[in-house]
Amino acid sequence: MASADAPRPPWQGRRIVLGVTGGIAAYKSVTLARRLTRLGAEVDVVLSRSSREFVTPLTFEAVTGRPVLTDLFSVDGAARHIRLGREADVVCIAPATADFIARAAQGRANELLTTTLLVTRTPVLLCPAMNDRMWAHPQVQANAGHCRERLGYHQLGPVAGPLAVGEGDGPGRMVEPEVIVEHLGRLLGGGGILEGRTVLVTSGPTREPLDPVRYLGNRSSGRMGFALAAAAWRRGAHVTVVTGPSALPRPEGVEVVPVETAREMDAAVRDRVGEADVIVYAAAVADFRPVRAEERKRKRSRDGEGWAVELTANPDIASGTKEHRKPGSVTVGFALESEDLLSNAADKRERKGFDLVVANPAGEPDAGFEAETNRVTLLGSGKPEELPLLPKEAVAEMVLDRVEALLRGRV
Ligand code: CTP
């Protein structure tokens, strides 16, 4: 079964040095190492001396399948840290303790991890974790500031939340592994043509109210739209997603504009579409809404009478915003079809002014609504490209590869 955790860009085949220093959050770094490995990265874990009070090399070796480095003064330790630092695509220190941040700021070389930092020229991500009063201390702040401003390190967190030891009011807690994975993804995935561009995505279902408690909706989970938004953000874009109700976690780094109805989605898209370099219409918009939403909850009728609801057409958001798009922008639409997949998709491409249509058959198991995977055909100006059954996250990467190619053709 294809899974969201399967190897995929931008992590796949990339080299990540994960430095773990001595804080209780070190246990979360095991999850971090595991996720990165499952996404296809080669993760070289470097443990500081004090981290080994909390976690063992064996734990990390088991989840990464690679030897863990601990000792600078072993026979090959010194040569290995130079190689590691030079070959890494990104270095992440999680958790980064107050003591480690102080040593990093000073450029110390007293153990493997700090020496690795001195040789690397790749992006470094620090994920601090400590007692909240320690984090608030002016010297810790000065050290972290020096790492950011003078050394150019990226810093993620800490965030407020329950701490092992702490007052718990201020920030001190390490950000969660999933969030670190996404930020590493952005450090690995940026630098292309989407860097600094504006991307607008519509996502999820819409809900059309019948009365205050009932609505007409559809089975869209929002997974495909969120996957596209997340992938565009990792490629360095400023991303806004206009989304109908979705139970999924919001994509990291993305501006989320929550809406309920098709008309709200239409208004939110109209406000933003003129600024976007890329527009992806991934929402499953309800084509119809009840003519009238009742003000009070409709009571069950005593005599068993039914409820006939009259529906009226909703705006077609993609077609209606065609004229407002920025000249030169690239537009992607979706086509969910029960029959004549390619001819219907080609017709939608023409009618709605899409550069690329992601077409998928309705009613197929493991694809489309509510599924984690999708089987799609990409339809641009050339030959249709049929993709295999893939996790939606992998489909999103392939769609954005095509979007980048189209953007490159326009500059
Ligand atoms: N779309 C939209 N606004 C609508 C309906 C659809 O913006 N009211 C967009 C979808 O986000 C998608 C594309 O148009 O990118 C096609 O959606 P789809 O539901 O496949 O097609 P419909 O326009 O609803 O046409 P039909 O019902 O004939 O299949």
Are the C-beta atoms of 32 and 93 separated by less than 8 Å?
no
Residue 279 beta carbon below 6 angstroms from any ligand 1 atom: no
**Residue 282 alpha carbon, nearest atom of ligand 1:** 11
- Which of 265, 357, 280 has its CA nearest to residue 325? 280
Residue 349 beta carbon below 6 angstroms from any ligand 1 atom: no
C-alpha 223/C-alpha 249 separation (Å) is 10
Are the C-beta atoms of 358 and 335 separated by less than 8 Å?
yes
Active-site pick, 131, 143, 218, 344: 218
Best probe residue, ligand 1, of 219, 348, 356 (max atoms within 8 Å of C-beta): 348
C-alpha 50/C-alpha 131 separation (Å) is 16
Residue 336 beta carbon below 6 angstroms from any ligand 1 atom: yes
H or E stretch at 47: strand 42-47
Determine the distance separating the centroid of ligand 1 and the alpha carbon of 60, expressed in angstroms: 47
Q: What angle do CA 275, 201, 190 make, to 5 degrees?
A: 80
pLDDT at 170: 83
196: left (phi over 0), alpha (psi -120 to 50) or beta: left
Residue 69 beta carbon below 6 angstroms from any ligand 1 atom: no
Residues with Cβ within 8 Å of residue 213, at least 6 apart in sequence: 297
Residues with Cβ within 8 Å of residue 185, at least 6 apart in sequence: 10, 11, 234
Q: Which two tokens stand for residue 218?
A: 């559809």
Determine the distance separating the centroid of ligand 1 and the alpha carbon of 79, expressed in angstroms: 58
φ, ψ of residue 174 to 5 degrees: the values are -70, 145
Q: Which two tokens stand for residue 208?
A: 């059309």
C-alpha 343/C-alpha 185 separation (Å) is 37
For 193-408, CATH gives 3.40.50.10300
pLDDT at 1: 44
Active site residue 314: no
List beta partners, residue 385. Answer: 378
Return the CATH superfamily for domain 15-188: Flavin prenyltransferase-like (3.40.50.1950)
Residue whose tokens read 């930092």: 117
Determine the distance separating the centroid of ligand 1 and the alpha carbon of 69, expressed in angstroms: 53
Residue 314 beta carbon below 6 angstroms from any ligand 1 atom: yes
- The answer to whether 15-188 and 193-408 have equal CATH topology is yes
Q: How many CB atoms lie within 10 A of CB 392?
A: 23
Strands (E), 75-118: 90-96
Residue 317 beta carbon below 6 angstroms from any ligand 1 atom: yes
Could you tell me the residue ranges of all domains in the chain? 15-188, 193-408
Best probe residue, ligand 1, of 334, 339, 349, 350 (max atoms within 8 Å of C-beta): 334
- Which of 41, 22, 160 has its CA nearest to residue 89? 41
Determine the distance separating the centroid of ligand 1 and the alpha carbon of 333, expressed in angstroms: 8
Determine the distance separating the centroid of ligand 1 and the alpha carbon of 21, expressed in angstroms: 51
Are the C-beta atoms of 302 and 336 separated by less than 8 Å?
no
Instruction: pLDDT tens for the chain, 411 residues: list them.
Output: 456 678 999 999 999 999 999 999 999 999 999 999 999 999 999 999 899 999 999 999 999 999 998 865 665 666 777 888 889 999 999 999 999 999 999 999 888 899 899 999 999 999 999 999 999 999 999 999 999 999 999 999 999 987 766 666 789 999 999 999 999 999 999 999 999 999 999 999 999 999 999 999 999 999 999 999 999 999 999 999 999 999 999 999 999 999 999 999 999 999 999 999 999 999 999 999 999 999 999 988 888 889 999 999 999 999 999 999 999 999 999 999 888 989 999 999 999 999 999 999 887 777 777 778 889 999 999 999 999 999 999 999 999 999 999 999 987
